[in-house]
Amino acid sequence: MRLRVVVRVAGHTKSSYTYLQLLEDLVEVIGGPSSLVEAGFVDYRMVWVAIDLPPSGMDRRDIELFCELAAAELRSALKAGIGIDPRMMSGRLAVVVQRSAEGGPGSNEEAAERLRGLGYRVEVLDGEASG
């Protein structure tokens, strides 16, 4: 139960806010416990990461704090893995999200459609339909 979520980053969108917004959107849409298992830039380099995301049922302030810490961890892991501060790069930032077996409401395809509606390019992995 994995999703590959991609967002184009260039110019002002390379800031730390982009990473935070990505994680908050993932938590809101996926709705259940999940983890980032890969991150990087499409056509450049992907690295393994292990970043747990909280379930959406938490208090909004707790989710925001958790995502701020996770965004810093994601940037740090990317910097170590690709050898440069990822906020200095332009391109297509990608993360692979592993949804837990109990997951949130809806299928991977429903989550993918909701994320697409927010402007992300999403591919459903593990043999499910993609788009």
Per-residue model confidence (pLDDT) at position 127:
52
Mean pLDDT of the chain: 84
Q: Are strands 121-124 and 34-41 parallel, antiparallel or unpaired?
A: unpaired
Its pTM stands at 0.84
Amino acid at position 99, single letter: R
pLDDT digits (tens, 9 = 90+) for 74-114: 989 999 988 888 878 888 999 999 987 665 556 788 889 99
**pLDDT score of 117 more than 80:** yes
What is the pLDDT at residue 43?
85
Q: Is the pLDDT of residue 128 over 50?
A: no
For the chain, domains (ranges, CATH) are: 2-124 (3.30.1340)
b/e per residue 38-61 (b: at least 16 CB within 10 A):
bbbbeeeebeebebebbbbeeeee
Q: What is the mean pLDDT of residues 26-30?
A: 89
